[in-house]
Structure 1
Amino acid sequence: MDMRDFVQSAGRAVLEMVEREWEPLSQAELEQRLDQAVEEILEADLVAKVQAQPPAIYVHLVQAQEPLVLPAETVKSAPPDEEEHLAQETDDDAVDSYAVKHITELLQNSKSHYSKSRLAGRARISLSHTVLLSLTLLSKRVSYRSVSGRFRLEKGNIHRIYFSFCERVNLLQDELIRWPNGEARDLLCPLYALLGNTGPEEAQGAPQVLGILGHTRIPIRLPIGKQNVDSTMPEVKRMKEEAHPDSWLNLELVCDRRGRFLHCQISKGSETGRAASLRDRLGRQPRLMPPGSCLVARAGYPLTEHILTPHVSRVGPREGLFNKTLEAYFSILDQAVVSLKARFQRLRYLDMGNYERARAVVLTACILHNVFLDIGPLLEGELDAEEAGVAEEEGDVDEEGLRRREAITDALYKGLESTCA
């Protein structure tokens, strides 16, 4: 990249900062700022007059004086009845009013010590209004400018509200995306159960599946300094053609048979080592896996005592039957990913080059995926053609994992033979 490229990248960064920080105020927020300034002037004048009085009169007046500062949870530009109107204007498929109420109560009742401080001079909005605004941005691919007009707030303010919401939801990760402990047995499913062609005796002796391990990619904008500014190709298409590793995030997931996320790890596209940290964690803490249980994952993931993957080489009838058994579980994870991206359409392409903020948005969507699953079922859809049916080579294999897979493959095939006899 020559000096001209660096100058263009720097210019773009400055332009984005100007748009985000110094966007002209909307009419409604300008009126709010003026009202607040008048109140502050009147309050300062009143306090000066009171302080000029004798001490006894001063104490009496201060005790009787009602505060002029607006409460932290009021919205001068959008009263409660207008919030309901805004909720009605929002697409029902994108933001459900019950979901807004449920998430608002969840944040209010959370045990996290979230800082409620704000920048001086910025509009105060209620928590429910914040949830509605943020869900609108997450659920539909709309710009800050269009949301600014709907919610009567300046674009820079919406930017801050949105990311403060993500920060607040991220604090709930350990509470809402957690590995099952005492309730793990309620989530277990016999490995053969979804195949439907083995007898009850074989099903009773089968390994128990705790969850399905997999991943998806979340496209993001290349960071400043790594973009091909001379290219005229659209950015999403250019990302697919050039496949720069920093043009996406890796989202590693484990879901149960209902599609609920039990594990979520987000990393840069340039970071390698599929499920390495999860494998190490399960090796150090074997109690996380109930006796006789396992995770299932597609080829490319490590084959271990706790993670079963399909056969890749020398696939005969017995190996094919084992692979078919695992494939029935992979569709559960696929549907969970489809539901995640259908409900939170902003994940289809995050137009931001800041890794930490992009990660915060993705983690927010994963946490809220579990919240929405408590309210209703997964959203239906089709898996992206680019993610479906991608053949991969076998990942790392350890001896215990290989031994266990062979034993299960033999037991499954013998069970099928006895059923057909």
Structure 2
Amino acid sequence: MEVRNQCVASAGRAIMDLIQSEWEPLSHWELDQRLDRAVEEMIEADLMAQAQSSSVVMQESQQEDLKPLQPEKSTSAYESEHRAQAAEAAEANPAVQHITNLLQRSSSNHSKTRLSGRARLSLSHTVLLSLTLLYKRISYRNVSANFHLEKGNIHRIFFSFCDRVIALQDQLIKWPTGQEEVHLLPFSSWLGHNEGLEERGLPKVLGVLGDTSIPIRLPTGKPECESDPSEAKRLKNDLDPDSWLNLELVINGEGRFIYCHISKGSEKDRGRALLEILQQNPEMVPPGTCLIADVGYPLTGQILTPFSAGRSPQENLYNRSVGIHLGRFEQALADLKQRFQKLRYLDMGNYDRAKVVVLTACILNNVFLDMGDVTKGLIGQTTKEDVTEEVTDDAAGVAMRDTVVNLLYSTLEAETH
């Protein structure tokens, strides 16, 4: 009992001492210190309360945001949904399905392998992605966003597709030989008596030979000309020959490509490669047939070219007939570049890769024509280069052209009298 009383008395004295110390007058300095400390404690407590409240809200928001990214559930479901949509789009595209079936039927090893360690796309999805890159002048970055794939992965997928298509080159771009059906055209469609003229030496047209330029990005590591202002000015005004590819083609009567040759812009080939092949294999252009080419190509017994400038009614009449065939070639080029707009400018400085893309587009162009899928481009968009290189006319070619000129003019005179 006494111990309890002592504790109560001690506590009472402590309370009295506290009250006394609180009620004792404070100096101005001590009062300011206590007020400042009290204000700081109040502000600190308020800030701590706001921080704790914001932290709770942020944690809840982060948890909600992270839920769809869980690989076990949401990510796989999202990818599955996206791939299902891509597969549906591919199945709805006749061109994608046709090319997919074509690649599946091929015996190429490319169609049976996949890129290890990379996203595994179905073949139809790969075709859809690759055609998207060829149809439009679109970057890997944009395709990456649309197909939800890494940019480097898209690069590998696209060139893998190109390799598969190029493996079919011999099947899809081939010269007609043997018993194959040959689509020949009359030399002059406005003459109504071609049969008799052919017996007298007027040939039928097996194909039209021509070329075009495909612009590409200049290769890296080109020499600088800053030390020579005159040379820098010349390069600025003149197109560097390495900034394009030469695409040389032969089209038949249906507009299909039966020959394709690609070279660097600095390589002035212009029919020489084909001419060597024809000299070694003259049966490729049977008797009674010919190829037609524009000015600047060699005039031979198998290749007829127009006069650079008609100097007589006979020559003008001949040029008119040849010009109709050359117009078909220009239309075929315009159609090719309209269908595959990537060919209008290849943003790649690597010649081999650029060549792969151009060859792939030419092969696929024949595939689309086989499907009956026709695309019409504007001929005005195809730029023709000025021919500065002189060619030597072959004696057999000169004789063949003179025969054709005389037959055409004599027939026209007979019809007008």
Query: TM-score normalised by the shorter chain: which range applies?
Result: 0.7 to 0.9
Tell me, yes or no, if structure 1 residue 199 matches structure 2 residue 193: yes
Residue in 2 aligned with 1:172?
Answer: 168
- TM-score, reference length from structure 1: 0.74
Q: Report the CA distance shift for 1:132/1:78 in structure 2 as closer, same or farther (over 3 A).
A: farther
Q: Report the CA distance shift for 1:215/1:319 in structure 2 as closer, same or farther (over 3 A).
A: same
Residue in 2 aligned with 1:404?
Answer: 400
Q: Offset of 1:384 from its aligned partner?
A: 3.8
Q: Report the CA distance shift for 1:120/1:250 in structure 2 as closer, same or farther (over 3 A).
A: same
1:413 is paired with a residue whose SS is helix
Q: Report the CA distance shift for 1:183/1:396 in structure 2 as closer, same or farther (over 3 A).
A: farther
Gaps of 5+ in 2: 1-68, 73-77, 227-233
Which amino acid in the other structure matches residue 83 of structure 1? A
For 1:240 and 1:348, the matched residues in 2 are separated by: 20
Partners of 1:207 and 1:292 within 8 A in 2: yes
Residue in 2 aligned with 1:81?
Answer: 84
For 1:276 and 1:149, the matched residues in 2 are separated by: 45
Q: Report the CA distance shift for 1:406/1:400 in structure 2 as closer, same or farther (over 3 A).
A: same
Tell me, yes or no, if structure 1 residue 212 matches structure 2 residue 228: no
Residue in 1 aligned with 2:95?
Answer: 99
For 1:349 and 1:311, the matched residues in 2 are separated by: 32
For 2:179 and 2:81, the matched residues in 1 are separated by: 44
Query: What does 1:11-410 align with in structure 2 at a 5 Å threshold?
Result: 81-87=84-90, 97-114=93-110, 116-182=112-178, 186-193=182-189, 196-205=190-199, 206-226=202-222, 241-312=237-308, 315-384=311-380, 387-388=383-384, 390=386, 395-410=391-406
Partners of 1:266 and 1:359 within 8 A in 2: yes
Partners of 1:198 and 1:415 within 8 A in 2: no
Partners of 2:90 and 2:125 within 8 A in 1: no
Partners of 2:203 and 2:288 within 8 A in 1: yes
- The more displaced of 240-249 and 138-147 is 240-249
Which amino acid in the other structure matches residue 408 of structure 1? V
2:109 is paired with a residue whose SS is coil
1:253 is paired with a residue whose SS is strand
Task: Give the percent of matched residue pairs that are identical in Structure 1 and Structure 2.
Answer: 51
Q: Offset of 1:186 from its aligned partner?
A: 3.4
2:300 is paired with a residue whose SS is coil
Q: Report the CA distance shift for 1:97/1:201 in structure 2 as closer, same or farther (over 3 A).
A: closer
2:110 is paired with a residue whose SS is coil
Gaps of 5+ in 1: 1-30, 36-74, 89-95, 231-237
Report the count of equivalent residues: 340
1:226 is paired with a residue whose SS is coil
Q: Report the CA distance shift for 1:296/1:276 in structure 2 as closer, same or farther (over 3 A).
A: same
Partners of 1:202 and 1:415 within 8 A in 2: no
**1:112-171: CA deviations, max 9, x gaps?**
232744443211110000000000000011111111111111111001000111111111
Residue in 1 aligned with 2:413?
Answer: 417
1:190 is paired with a residue whose SS is coil
Partners of 2:334 and 2:381 within 8 A in 1: no
Partners of 1:300 and 1:394 within 8 A in 2: yes
2:254 is paired with a residue whose SS is coil
For 2:283 and 2:255, the matched residues in 1 are separated by: 23
Partners of 1:305 and 1:401 within 8 A in 2: yes
**More relative contact order, 1 or 2 (CA 8 Å, 6+ apart):** 1
More helix by share: 2
For 1:385 and 1:228, the matched residues in 2 are separated by: 32
Partners of 1:259 and 1:378 within 8 A in 2: no
Which amino acid in the other structure matches residue 259 of structure 1? G
Which amino acid in the other structure matches residue 376 of structure 2? E
Partners of 1:199 and 1:419 within 8 A in 2: no
2:401 is paired with a residue whose SS is helix
Which amino acid in the other structure matches residue 378 of structure 1? V
Partners of 2:330 and 2:382 within 8 A in 1: no
Partners of 1:144 and 1:158 within 8 A in 2: yes
For 2:316 and 2:305, the matched residues in 1 are separated by: 12
For 2:123 and 2:171, the matched residues in 1 are separated by: 20
Which amino acid in the other structure matches residue 316 of structure 2? G
Partners of 2:207 and 2:250 within 8 A in 1: yes
Which amino acid in the other structure matches residue 174 of structure 1? D
2:324 is paired with a residue whose SS is helix
2:270 is paired with a residue whose SS is coil
**1:172-192: CA deviations, max 9, x gaps?**
110100001135553112212
Q: Report the CA distance shift for 1:347/1:386 in structure 2 as closer, same or farther (over 3 A).
A: closer
Partners of 1:190 and 1:203 within 8 A in 2: no
Which amino acid in the other structure matches residue 399 of structure 1? A
Partners of 1:210 and 1:256 within 8 A in 2: yes
1:178 is paired with a residue whose SS is coil
